[in-house]
Chains A and B, each alone.
Chain A
Amino acid sequence: EVKLVESGGGLVQPGRSLKLSCAASGFSFNDYWMGWVRQAPGKGLEWIGEINQDSSTINYTPSLKDKFTISRDNAQNTLYLQMSKLGSEDTAIYYCARAGIPFDYWGQGVMVTVSS
């Protein structure tokens, strides 16, 4: 069974950084692109970016490219999202997803709240 479990969310002060993790199981992690999507409270879905199997290609939505960094550790079957200079506009549920055809499996999401 494919399983994606995000962690690392919580309350963070404006201007600070936070790193999310996504633990993958039930499939060959290093065979797939992986990605992140976020959803602000009561809003739609926003594609953050995707990383290929060997981390040689990473694509971001332009408005987040300088704030967010996607990485992965294939030995640990884990995807990461490093977020910096966080502002209230970054308050959202963050989902990791397997970029199959395109996002065929999603995690349950992790809440990030940016507030003082």
Chain B
Amino acid sequence: DIQMTQSPASLSASLGETVTIECLASEDIYSNLAWYQQKPGKSPQLLIYDASSLQDGVPSRFSGSESGTQYSLEINSLQSEDAATYFCQQHHDYPFTFGSGTKLEIK
């Protein structure tokens, strides 16, 4: 199985700041990487797919990038509603594994 190592496990940032969350794939996943946002008590919502494509309706302050097998989610101009847990998922090879999640707190 492809392992997705996500970091950090948690972070705290202030309104208006920029944060970056990373996922390292154990092998090449050819940009087949999605990012999800999950708010407490809610189901996950797709933010980004294919490493950098923004899902319809997602604010442009969310962006995705890649460098080799390292994938990043950047959130610019943090808003209070961005407080959530973020997960990456590789959709290159079965089973489609998730990262362990990053809990983002807004100060």
CA distance A109 to B34 in the complex (A): 20
The count of A-to-B residue pairs whose CB atoms sit within 8 angstroms is 55
A47-B89, A102-B96, A107-B43 given. 6 additional CB < 8 A pairs?
Answer: A37-B44, A44-B87, A49-B95, A62-B1, A102-B89, A108-B43
> Would you give the 0/1 interface string for A49-93, flagging 1 where the beta carbon is closer than 8 Å to chain B?
110000000011110000000000000000000000000000000
* Residue positions of B touching A, CB distance < 8 A: 1, 34, 36, 38, 43-46, 49-50, 53, 55, 87, 89, 91, 94-101
Bound form: Cα–Cα A75–B55 in Å: 29
> Are B87 and A59 in contact, CB atoms less than 8 angstroms apart?
no
CB distance from B96 to the nearest CB of A (A): 5
Decide if B43 touches A104 in the complex (CB within 8 Å).
no
Cα A4 to Cα B41 in complex, Å, equals: 16
